[in-house]
Chain A
Amino acid sequence: MSLLTPRGWFSASRHGLLGLTLGGLLALPLAAQAERIFVSNEKDNTISVIDGESLEVVETIPVGRRPRSMAFSSDGSELFVAVGDDESIDMIDLESLRVVRSQASGDDPEVIRVDPNRPYIYVSNEDDNIVSVLDYESRTLVTEIPVGVEPEGLGISPDGRWLVSTTETSNMAHIIDAERMEAVHHRLVGARPRHVEFTHDGREAWVSAEIAGTVSILDMQETFDVKHTIRFDVPGVPRETVQAVGVALTSDGRYAFVALGPSNRVAVVDQQTYEVLDTILVGQRVWHLALNGDESRLYTTNGVSGDVTVIEVDGLRATRSIPVGRFPWGVIVEP
């Protein structure tokens, strides 16, 4: 654990390393703290930790069986990992990088999201056709919200008011009122919807569909209808392999990145016009995406090739691939 993280300094001063003045502390440029990128290796039961500066794996954390989706606690002290075959959420302390506790999550948790206002984790339980709501402070089950067959993708609006759950076999986006904890609208989207990402202004939810190879844009202001559907086409690549999975949206409203699965490409989309601007060749079976803090870099997990591709957003070029564990699934950058 680097002493250069803010919490590292804090504990260091408590341990008497007070030779450094406060002024000295402030003089340290913030950029000196390298970002950490966490990658869940579905087949290896581990989380790879990548140093954002050296772009190398600096730590491998053993977790429960079949880790997939990850999310940070609201205070940023813990990383939650859905470990599907253990039917629980492992909680990793971000200082010690160890699993410090675990909370039962119901059957086969796949995707998790954290409520921005309340200590809640939302979990899609594929086998039970429900979204479970867990309280990670009181460590209790708050409620279960019924949805369609095989809930998978989950998105939460920036203000925490709306939750969108996609169901893979029903091919629907279920729009859940997070206050009432019930689904109030149901919309057909493309076949096998996988992932939901809200725009940073909360006005739209982008829903990717793996088998259809589309992204449906849901209007989250008034109608909750699909207002546009983006299709992807990669020249020279069989159409069936062009599948849409992970989505990352820049906060300035400029770019959307969409992982196109076994076509081994990431699409770059204009967030305003929905025009597909480019496709970038990455590793094999690209699954999920994450932007770093200043949104200068995009990280992709590539399940079949077992690596992470680094894309420079300025110039939209893949510049590096980082070997991680077997079948990397999710990726998340420490805020």
Chain B
Amino acid sequence: MTTLPLPPRWLAVGGIVIGLGWSVALPADTPDTLTLGYLGMERPDDREPLSVLDPVLDDEGRQGARLGINDNNATAQFLGQEFVLHEAEVALGDDVGEALEQLIDEGVDWIISGLPFDALQAVMGHPALGDRVVFNAWAPDDALRGEACHPNLYHTTPSRRMLADALAQFLGYKQWERWALVYGNTDEDRRLAETLRAAAERYGHRIVGDRMWPHDPMARRAEGGFHAIQREIPVFVQDFPDHDVLVVADETDYFGEYFPYQTWEPRPVVGTQGLIATAWYRAHESWGAVQLQRRFEKLADRWMTPRDFGAWLAVRSLGEAAARTGSAEREVVLEYMLGEEFELAGYLGLPVSYRTWNHQLRQPILITGPRMVASVSPQEGYLHPRTPLDALGADEGESQCRF
């Protein structure tokens, strides 16, 4: 499944490669192989986007890993390296350990996780994992970067806190400082509401009121569904005190899409719907991103999602570290990945790199509407002694992570 765009004779002319002062070994007859495994989970039936315009995806994340492998191999062939991907999917209700063991039996050394919080926790505690490193490309939970962190766990997907901070910075730029908050009744949404409160506090915003939306499943398709919504939403939000924006926390996309244009006051809807903070979006084409979007669409026949992007970043991190060190050894690759020199081009204008204190990838966050990117955080003027990127998410001093 890896496509090499170059004829094989190119392999013969590799020669000694020197890059930025690191010497790289001569391409050997048998390349150094890095074997990666993508570990995903079957989509629960009720996890469908609310808007019928969005496709229901069953290969989210995995396609990003596949593209990362292709991109890595295009360079690796000149360096005597090779990247191989194995894939496993945990069926709903099945034990994640079996899928993990299957990957390990296939020789997988590095795991890319498309698992939610609990399943990922199970993987990290599984004896078969050994010293293997796991990249979390799916779960946004701050606990995984905090009290539940693990020395072999890296996060390429942003934490909820990073997304909330990125949004808060933009709202600060707009001086929309009074928020009314509506959150869902899932665990994820309760955690996101907590995170939004923390971000509001950090950036000096005020949450003037909050309400939980008592979600029970609704049909995605219903004749005239908007009639009910049109009457229901204004009543639900009409008692909020004066506010500048309505912040919606609906991570599972159960109800938030109903809110824009239905508010009591004429206020923008921001958060998980309306104007959103996200690691990746199709409307983003700056800094060469259009190239990645096009490559992805050619491969997957659909748009790239933040989860695809997280998996791509994980695979590319390994590609970059292996190319620069000329090594496939775990310790060598990891040391470089966590070092000062590591800088990955993530099509976000600034290089991305790993925070040493919790292994979270620091990255710019897109602030985007449904049709157009509005901005990219960090916003100008929010300073940080290390890098403005570290103003997003738990900082070194406040992190609960102790390796």
Contacts and interface: CB of A to CB of B under 8 A. Distances in A.
Interface of A: 126-127, 129, 146, 148-150, 168-172, 183-192, 210-212, 214, 216, 225-226, 229, 238-241, 262
22 contacts: A149-B5, A169-B71, A171-B19, A171-B75, A171-B320, A171-B345, A172-B78, A183-B10, A185-B13, A186-B17, A187-B19, A188-B19, A188-B323, A191-B344, A210-B345, A211-B345, A211-B350, A211-B351, A214-B20, A226-B18, A238-B387, A240-B387
B381 to A, nearest CB: 12
Given A149-B71, A171-B75, A191 B351 contact: yes
Contacts of B13: 183-186
Nearest to B349: A262
Given A187-B17, A212-B343, 9 more contacts: A126-B288, A127-B291, A148-B74, A148-B78, A168-B291, A186-B17, A187-B18, A226-B21, A240-B389
Interface in B61-88: 71, 74-75, 78-79
B351 A240 contact: yes
A168 B75 CA distance: 11
A211 B350 CA distance: 7
A233 B107 CA distance: 43
Contacts of A168: 288, 291, 345
A191 B388 CA distance: 20
B127 interface: no
A211 B18 contact: no
Contacts of A170: 74-75, 78
Mostly helix, strand, loop or mixed at chain A's interface?
loop
Contacts of B343: 191, 211-212
Contact of B19 (A185, A226, A262): A226
Contacts of B339: none
B350 A240 contact: yes
Interface residues of B, number: 35
B284 interface: no
Interface of B: 5-7, 10, 13-21, 24, 71, 74-75, 78-79, 288, 291, 294-295, 320, 323-324, 343-345, 349-351, 387-389
Nearest to B76: A170
A212 B353 CA distance: 12
A185 B295 CA distance: 25
B348 to A, nearest CB: 10
B345 A146 contact: no
A264 B262 CA distance: 43
B15 A171 contact: no
Contact of B291 (A150, A183, A225): A150
Contacts of B345: 168-169, 171, 191-192, 210-211
A188 B288 contact: no
B264 to A, nearest CB: 38
Given A168-B291, A171-B323, A129 B5 contact: yes
A211 B345 CA distance: 6
Given A146-B6, A191-B343, A211-B343, A225 B75 contact: no
A216 B21 CA distance: 10
B394 to A, nearest CB: 19
Contact of A191 (B21, B24, B320): B320
A285 B349 CA distance: 11
A210 B348 CA distance: 12
Q: Which 8 A-B pairs have the closest CB atoms?
A: A188-B19, A170-B75, A240-B350, A192-B345, A211-B345, A186-B78, A149-B74, A211-B351
Contacts of A216: 20
Contacts of B21: 226, 229
Contacts of B75: 148-149, 169-172
